[in-house]
Amino acid sequence: MRLSAAIKTYEIEQEVPVALFSGSFHNRLQKAAEFGYDGIELMAANPVHLDSKKICKQIKELGLEVSAIGSGAAFMVDKLTLLASDPDVSQRALKRLHDLIQFASEVEAPFVTIGSFRGRKAWVTDGKADAKLNEAMANAAGRASRLGVRLVLEPLNRYESDIVNNTKEGLALLEKIGHSHTGLLIDTYHLNIEEPSIHSCFQKAMSAGKLWHIHIGDSNRLPPGKGHLDFPGIVSTLREIGYNGYLSAELLPLPNPDQAAEETLRYMRKLIPPKNMK
């Protein structure tokens, strides 16, 4: 298992609630490497404004990898969602998803996340939200597969979305889509709200072959160890079931974005040694 942290890309000027590290984009990458992260998850809003070659080079020079491309900023910054009351918004969102997939392939990121960016069922007034999300994801998965990228659908707690709130619903939607390039992203913060057992939902996702990416944040969305989630137990379950992907810190930048990133790393490194150690 490896550790990454979510950082925003440089086309985004505003604060993004769950992005870590302060300073210029390059500073943020440097800090991730200095603190001892293995990778970073890039929260990009509009990647057509980004120089992916340069980003890829900077990341490699620092010995980091890109664990995933997060799509949440396209929602937070540009208010784009795959499910929307205005068809123009959903169409632009699909085009944006294609751009994020292209960007992922250029910076060698294995995944593009679909969390808040999917929007809400309640926004779709013709009652066809499920079919629409299904169609948008199948369409994007086709493009992703041609570019060697995969999509990860993230169950969100009920206060943030009304479509796919838990692992069971996530797996059911993936089954309907039926595309080899779609899997699950499980976020410990959301699961703490929705799941009766965090451990068995990891197991379920893993036995379906769909546990591809993980976001970490404690019960209060602070760094692990600051809330009441049992991270030693979570890590030992993940080891037991053979998960060997990323645990990516996506949490509140408190008391400040650097300290939150550093405290996360310090706590998690006790559970997950650096990749060149046993």
115 scored as a contact of ligand LER (CB under 6 A): yes
Give backbone dihedrals phi and psi of 81, rounded to 5 degrees, phi first: -145, 145
Residue that is written with structure tokens 């990454």 in the block: 4
Q: Which does 15 bind (CB under 5 to 8 A by kind): ligand LER, Mn ion, none?
A: none
CA angle (97 as vertex; 91, 99 as ends), nearest 5: 110
Q: Which stretch binds ligand LER (CB under 6 A): 113-121, 164-172, 191-199, 254-262?
A: 113-121
Where are the extended beta strands (E) located within 2-161? 2-8, 39-43, 65-70, 111-114, 150-153
Nearest approach, Cβ of 276 to ligand LER (angstroms)?
A: 29
* Binding-site ranges for Mn ion (CB under 5 A): 187, 215, 250
Give backbone dihedrals phi and psi of 213, rounded to 5 degrees, phi first: -150, 155
Nearest approach, Cβ of 18 to ligand LER (angstroms)?
A: 6
Residue that is written with structure tokens 């009441």 in the block: 228
User: Which of 65, 106, 218, 250 forms a contact with ligand LER (CB under 6 A)?
Assistant: 250
Binding to ligand LER (CB under 6 A) within 136-165 occurs at: 154, 156, 160
Question: What is the C-alpha separation between 165 and 110, in angstroms, rounded?
Answer: 24
Query: To the nearest 5 percent, what fractions of the chain are helix, strand and coil?
Result: 45, 15, 40
187 scored as a contact of ligand LER (CB under 6 A): yes
- Tell me the site size for ligand LER, rule CB under 6 A: 12
Nearest approach, Cβ of 258 to ligand LER (angstroms)?
A: 20
Residues forming contacts to ligand LER in the complex (CB under 6 A) are 70, 72, 113, 115-117, 154, 156, 160, 187, 215, 250
